[in-house]
Amino acid sequence: MRAQVDLATDVLAAAPTTGAAAGHGVPLRPAFEEVYAAAVAASQAGRSVSPARQILEAGARTGRAPEASTYLNGLASLVDRTPFTVASGAVEVVQRLREEGWATALVSNTVGEPGKALLPVLRRLGVESLIDAFVFSDEGPWTKPSPEIFREALERLGGAPERAVHVGDGWVDIEGARRANFRAGILYTGLQHYGKKYRQLFLPEGWSNPSTPYRFRDWSELPGLLAGLR
């Protein structure tokens, strides 16, 4: 997140100034941080403010005319350099579920980076081929917990909400599945070691214990949970 803000500040600093006097002299980093925080708040309410819109809004506030593509390309480079790892057992379990006939979609709140930048990472980690549909919030108007983004995933899969389950690690996942009338929202608790700043920005009060009777810590537990829901 610090790297994202650093990048945005550099892009704004390199951008030409606009003819309008309004915004000239406004500090660049605080201006972008305010825009980013507003985008996070919007995402918690189910509304998407894409990274492209964020950098353009910050430009408008500071009297700059940044190229959104410059910022997006920089974000893609940051994502590519981030040392992501796969949760232990996740790939094997999803492979097994697909063999059992499950269709899979990935629904992701991509507030700080473009969803397309994640695809090469998922490919390297052996995950992309296990997903039938990708729904990234920066590519549309909605974020989790809005039911619309879950319905978009179902439409792409050709599924029905009463037969659908959503697996996620926080409140927006469980609440979104409830709002979309899914069969269940299942909470994954195995990787909830978030940094303090991330918790402050992205996880509202009660995030660690959203209301659901379905939860697991180890991916080997998930097939049994799903079997009990059928």
Asked if residue 34 lies in contact with residue 49, where contact means CB atoms within 8 angstroms, the answer is no
pLDDT in tens, 118-156: 999 999 999 999 999 999 999 999 999 999 999 999 999
Q: Where are the domains of the chain?
A: 2-81, 90-229
pLDDT given for residue 204 in this prediction? 62
| Share above pLDDT 70 across residues of the chain, in percent, rounded to a whole number | 91
Q: What is the CA radius of gyration of the chain?
A: 19
Three-state DSSP at 120 gives: helix
Three-state DSSP at 134 gives: strand
Whether the per-residue pLDDT at 220 is higher than 90: the answer is: yes
Whether the per-residue pLDDT at 223 is higher than 90: the answer is: yes
Three-state DSSP at 217 gives: coil
pLDDT given for residue 211 in this prediction? 78
Whether the per-residue pLDDT at 29 is higher than 90: the answer is: yes
Tell me the mean pLDDT in the region 67-90: 96
């920089």: which residue's tokens?
A: 74
Asked if residue 35 lies in contact with residue 61, where contact means CB atoms within 8 angstroms, the answer is yes
Tell me the CATH number for domain 90-229.
Answer: 3.40.50.1000
Asked if residue 149 lies in contact with residue 120, where contact means CB atoms within 8 angstroms, the answer is no
